[in-house]
Amino acid sequence: MHSVLIVDDEDAIRKGLREYAEFMGYEVSEAADGMEAVELCRSRDFDVVIMDVMMPKLDGFTACKEIKKVKDVPVMILSARSEEYDKLFGFAMGIDDYVTKPFSAKEVMARIGVIVNRNRKLAQEASEERNLLFGGLEIDMAGRNVKVDGKKAELTPKEYELLFFMVKNKNLALSREKLLNAVWGYEFCGDYRTVDTHIKTLRMGLGAYKDKIVTLRGMGYKFEA
């Protein structure tokens, strides 16, 4: 169940959004001002925060700024201000959406659904990318770490880059030119033999899993998953 924090100093707005959010299956918490919202976010995790701007003690923009210091949580701003400046200011602070009052609770929750689904997909992709397993070959892209049957592989920086690029494009045929441009850059002055040399040493580093890198005669290579 996804959790949402509704922050507004008007009881009627909080109640209306709560009813619709709970109907949609969300776990709902409330705060009547920005300061209370910041304290709740420090002590709990939320999937999304719905934040009014004009509130006592601490306004919504300032509360959003304080929350972002401690939690990377999506924030939707609710505001009676419809000027472009206010919207741009909010997006510059890192908010995910901006809805002007008066609004439809149904529309707000539809937008919240988009935010939650997008962040869930991004989190899933990040998790999948962080630790990839191909039998006994373990590739941690985010941590720039490769293990062969549990033992750390000793690769050069360029071999890491070459492997990671091929893994990101696994099962795709990659020409030597494409690999050269992606890993060494367009201004590299060498030739295609540079790719072949690094592929050779990379295979040595992968040990028993060297056959994951398949040679495509007359064309290039691919990482076969």
**Helices and strands of the chain, counted as H and E runs:** 8, 12
Top-tier CATH class for 132-223: mainly alpha
Instruction: Give the CATH number of domain 3-128; options: 3.40.50.10330, 3.40.50.2300, 3.90.320.10, 3.40.50.10490.
Output: 3.40.50.2300
Report pTM: 0.59
> Residue 91's pLDDT is what?
85
Q: With H, G, I as helix, E, B as strand and everything else as coil, classify residue 151.
A: strand
Domain ranges of the chain: 3-128, 132-223
| The pLDDT of residue 191 is above 60 | yes
Q: How far lies 74's CA from each of 66, 94, 218, in Å?
A: 13, 8, 48
> Residue 115's pLDDT is what?
87
DSSP state of 59: -
pLDDT interval class at 72 (50, 70, 90): confident
**131-175 pLDDT tens trace:** 788 999 999 887 788 999 999 998 888 888 899 999 989 999 999
Strands 48-52 and 75-79: parallel
* Alpha-helical segments (H) within 10-168: 11-23, 34-43, 60-70, 84-92, 105-130, 157-168
